[in-house]
Amino acid sequence: MVITLALSSFGCASAHPSDEVAPGIYELSASADTDACSPHRAVGVMGEVAVLVEAGAVDAPVPDMDAPLLVAPRVRLAPGQSYHSETNRRIPGCESAWVHEEWTMLQGGAEGFRVLHTQEWQGLAACAGARDVMPGAPEADCRSERVLDYALSSVCRAPCRLLLGDTDSVVCSCD
């Protein structure tokens, strides 16, 4: 008779993707895995962003179109939700049009982290003015998947704070 023992780690003792992710300034870039949307979702080097980390949860900007990073929406990926978040948004003025978005942390460490961002747009054919009220909306129903890469530029630990600098850049202030 052969007995096999399996050891597992559960609960707080297990490692989480964000355990080594630090609050600070990160260089954000995006690449498209799949993008059937027109216009395509924003890709390439996007610039420096402020990333907050509190109680293991990572709070980061998640831009979905070419717009200033300072006005980009943010997502909070927390351990209690397996570092995953999702939302459904209706297109204003269009009863049957919506976008479903998901963000999932793929990996995290001391040098940075990666997030899979998925968008699925539905009902746009029946909504002639979607792009007027939501400039980031594509022209037709579509799905896109992008990987957002956050590469650590500099750590900003408490009591220091991340602030907007004089040149609209993110700075770490310890005053």
Over residues 155-166, the pLDDT tens digits come to: 998 888 888 777
When pLDDT is averaged across residues 137-158 and rounded to a whole number, the result is 93
**Bigger pLDDT: 78 or 11?**
78
Distance CA 50, CA 69 (A): 10
What sign does the dihedral 138-46-105-133 (CA atoms) show?
negative
CB 59 within 8 A of CB 51: yes
β-sheet bridge partners, residue 99? 89, 121
Q: How far is CA 61 from the centre of its chain?
A: 6
Q: What percent of the chain has pLDDT over 90?
A: 49
When pLDDT is averaged across residues 50-57 and rounded to a whole number, the result is 91
Structure tokens at 174: 């310890």
Mean of per-residue pLDDT scores for the chain: 83
Range among 21-25, 64-68, 128-132 with highest mean pLDDT value: 21-25
What pLDDT is attached to residue 31? Answer: 95
**Bigger pLDDT: 31 or 170?**
31
What three-state secondary structure class fits 67? coil
Q: What share of the chain is helix, strand, coil (3-state, %, to 5)?
A: 10, 50, 45
Domain positions in the chain: 17-173
Band (pLDDT 50/70/90 cuts) for residue 6 is very low
